[in-house]
Amino acid sequence: MMSRQPNLIRMSMLALLALGSLCVAASAQDQARPGMLNYVEGQVTLAGRALNNKSVGSVVMQQGDVLHTGQGRAEVLLTPGVFLRVGRQSAVRMVSPDIVQTQVELLQGKAGLEVDQLFEQNDLEVMDGGVTTRLLKTGFYEFEAGHPTVLVFSGKAQVEQTAGKPITVKQHHMLLLDASTRLHPRGFNTKDAEDGLFRWSSLRSRYLAQENRSIAQEYADESGFGPGWYWDPYGLGYTYIGMDPFYSPFGWGYYNPWWGWGGGWGPGFYGGYYGGYGFRDGDGDRMGNRAPYGGYRGAAGQNHVTIPGRMGGTPGNNGFHGGFSGGGFRGGSFGGGGFHGGGGGSFHGGGGGRR
């Protein structure tokens, strides 16, 4: 009995600490909405007020607010499935935090947008150098203020002009933003364009995918579940859970609540989201080449799933290098028990998260 008592005491203390941290996290979080701060590091201010880790999940950019990064970086939630990432020595103003028409303006430095989900009703716009760019598809976009430019790594954008028709910018193309001059998009080498903002965005996307996996299963039995932001008490931030599994623009897999948790994505990938080149994560690790829009299938003889509409393509080389479990996502069911609470909520009705 005496030998077991210290262990019981330690287990009780850990349980109380875990429960306490969840309660604090849940009570401190507002329902996620456009403008919610989701990550901060280093020197970051909002409307002149210094931000820190405690600001995550509670501080929201209101209309007209300016977020400024010195030697720091920040991530802000926009519409569900859209992450705004502000690089170092940059400034972004919230023009409209409305969920239907969401507009931000880049005033200084660089900003990137990871768009994992976009509905027809969403009007997602970025203003840079007096020019408005509307993002039309899921993908990853970078904007630069010093030399107003939009780079479409993947996706599709539409740039407004003062005269003439809007200019369409497709993936792997960039455009100098000048409202008074008719310019044409030109292609760019995506590997050469992988700057610090890109690599940090890839790393953030990887972490968010891990958070998605850690909590998505918890909502499998929830009635009225809807896609949206859901609070992860372990990562202390919001991640996105959709109705269907998908890949982020950087190749990281996101699950839905009804995924077959015993099998996962399966080792190895036939194709993937991107083709012709691989991305590097925040640590500089190459994730491997994937063929253009290959099917989401596990290797032969393994647990796998086929998602209609994403078939075809040539097998990618070695799957994910530096990804989850080496050659792609390996299933592995969750252990039972544990605390899986957290706030959250969906913008589109449906699940309101767990508090």
- Indicate whether 111 belongs to any domain: yes
Q: Which of 74, 82, 70, 67 is nearest to 38 (CA)?
A: 74
Ranked by mean pLDDT, which of 76-90, 160-174, 311-325, 326-340 comes out on top?
A: 76-90
In this structure, are residues 100 and 118 in contact, taking their beta carbons and an 8 Å threshold? no
- Indicate whether 153 belongs to any domain: yes
Q: For 67-77, what is each residue's pLDDT tens digit?
A: 999 999 999 99
Range of the domain at 129: 37-187
Contacts of residue 336, defined as CB under 8 A and 6 or more positions apart, other chains included, come to none
- β-bridge pairing 139-144 and 110-115: antiparallel
Total structural domains within the chain? 1
**Position with higher pLDDT, 279 vs 79:** 79
Q: Which pLDDT belongs to residue 28?
A: 34
**High-pLDDT (> 90) share of the chain, %:** 54
- Indicate whether 137 belongs to any domain: yes
Q: For 154-170, what is each residue's pLDDT tens digit?
A: 999 999 987 778 999 99
Q: Which pLDDT belongs to residue 260?
A: 62
What residues form DSSP beta bridges with 151?
Answer: 142, 174
Q: Is 42 left (phi over 0), alpha (psi -120 to 50) or beta?
A: left
Q: For 190-248, what is each residue's pLDDT tens digit?
A: 999 999 999 999 999 999 999 999 999 888 888 888 899 999 988 889 999 999 999 99
Pairwise CA distance, residues 344 & 354, whole Å: 6
Q: Which two tokens stand for residue 1?
A: 């009995």
Q: Which pLDDT belongs to residue 45?
A: 97
CATH of the domain at 148: 2.60.120.1440
- Indicate whether 266 belongs to any domain: no
- Indicate whether 306 belongs to any domain: no
- Indicate whether 77 belongs to any domain: yes
If you write DSSP's letter for every residue of 248-303 in order, what string do you get? -TTS-EE--TTS-TTTTT-SS-SS-SS-SS--B-TTS-B-----TT----PPTTS-
How much is the mean pLDDT over the chain? 73
Q: Which pLDDT belongs to residue 235?
A: 81
Assign 181 a pLDDT band (cuts: 50, 70, 90).
low
Backbone φ and ψ of 36, nearest 5°: -70, 130
Averaged pLDDT, 270-298 = 31
Secondary structure of residue 8 in the 3-state scheme: helix
Pairwise CA distance, residues 43 & 40, whole Å: 8
- Does the predicted model carry a pTM greater than 0.75? no
- Indicate whether 293 belongs to any domain: no
Pairwise CA distance, residues 51 & 59, whole Å: 9
Q: 3-state DSSP helix/strand/coil percent for the chain, to nearest 5?
A: 15, 30, 55
Q: Which pLDDT belongs to residue 14?
A: 37
